[in-house]
Structure 1
Amino acid sequence: MAGQNISDIIEAYLKQILAEQQQIEINRSDIAAQFNCVPSQINYVIKTRFNQQKGYWVESKRGGGGYIRIEKLHFSDVNHYIDRLLELISSRVTEDELQIFLQQLYGNDMITKREAQMVAVLADHQTLNIDSRSAEETLRANLLIALLNSLRYQRM
């Protein structure tokens, strides 16, 4: 665990449990106590590492009997999965958001690691070389949409 920060450790712990169960229900305070951190650290991990873009459904209830329920999303077929990803794309996509989508596609065997790297390079800020950040992010969103649609049609 050398070199890992507390967020990485908490993420790994939760993913290990999710590998064994369809969904988990945790208490923020209990997990924070287990890892000797503040409950807001748990919130941060959930928000940044277990969101819909990364293939998770999160439900929470605050208060005395509060909980956080995390479920790994499973899709019935490739087209359903692609549709869900398309719904998550806004009209503008940052480089970081593109990386998340590419990691999802790679993690679900939709593209190879090399293909993910090539798309990332092609959609990189320096490659696009557009002065307007807004125009660059719009172009990146259009490229991602085109990639997803090409994956759908290749698999039919």
Structure 2
Amino acid sequence: MARLVDVIEAMIKQMLDDNEGVAVISRSSLAEKVNCVPSQITYVLSTRFTNGQGFIVESRRGGGGQIRVSRVQNRATTEYLMHTINSLGEDLSQQQAEIYLQNFLDYQVITSGQAKLMMAAVSDNALSGIDSDRKGTVRMGIFKNMIISLITGSL
């Protein structure tokens, strides 16, 4: 059974697909559809639809509290990848890496084989010999270098 956050994410992504990359959402209406509280919709929007993941989320006050979610429209793969690099912080969890890679696949920025290779390189399993307090930083360094390799065409 899918987790509620996954269901909400899938519904919003379906809305984006159905409406040429733009979805206007009412938190309360969507919460009612999935039988949850509006704050859970806010959580999904703030964790799964960030700028770094290729989305712009705009909140509109009044009028039912509508929220507009748009996919970032990049002219070139390089711009998209550079946008991603610039939005990355100092640490990266395995789950965050999975989300980025899934977005890369969704936007056809990378192949399935490249995604599998990148995930293998930054997985908790691959970094098992690294101290837990440094693992996120090491993972981020590997991930950024792999994205640079994608940009330069060496991966």
Kindly state the Cα deviation for residue 65 of structure 1 after the two structures are TM-superposed: 4.3
Q: 1:68 offset after TM fit, Å?
A: 1.0
**Aligned pairs for 1:54-65 within 5 A:** 54-62=53-61, 65=64
Percent of aligned pairs sharing the same letter: 30
Give the drift of 1:84: 0.6
Shift of 1:62: 4.2
Q: 1:75 to 1:36 in 2, by over 3 A?
A: same
Q: Distance in 2 between matches of 1:61 and 1:14?
A: 17
Structure 1 residue 135 corresponds to structure 2 residue 134: yes
Q: Deviations over 1:105-148 (max 9, x none)?
A: 22222322232222222222332334422432222111111111
Gap regions ≥5 residues in structure 2: none
Alignment of 1:27-66 (within 5 A): 27-62=26-61, 65-66=64-65
Q: Which letter does structure 2 place at the counterpart of 1:33? A: E
Aligned Cα root-mean-square deviation (Å): 2.3
Match of 1:74 in 2: 73
The residue that corresponds to 1:19 in the other structure is 17
Deviations 1:39-62 (A, max 9, x none): 122212222332223321111134
Cα contact 2:23–2:70 (8 A) shared by 1: yes
Question: Aligned partners of 1:6, 1:124: CA distance in 2, in Å?
Answer: 25
**What TM-score do the two structures reach when normalised by structure 1?**
0.82
CA distance in 2, matches of 1:86, 1:18: 24
| Count of residue pairs brought into register by the alignment | 153
Distance 1:125 1:8 in 2: 22
- What 5-or-longer segments of structure 1 have no aligned partner? none
> Which amino acid is the alignment partner of residue 145 of structure 2?
A
Letter in 1 for 2:15: I
Contact 1:121–1:127 (CA<8 Å) still a contact in 2?
Answer: yes
Mapped to 2, the partners of 1:35 and 1:60 lie a distance apart of 20
Specify the alignment match of 1:105 in structure 2: 104
Q: CA deviation at 1:104?
A: 2.1
TM-score, with length taken from structure 2: 0.82
CA distance in 1, matches of 2:93, 2:6: 23
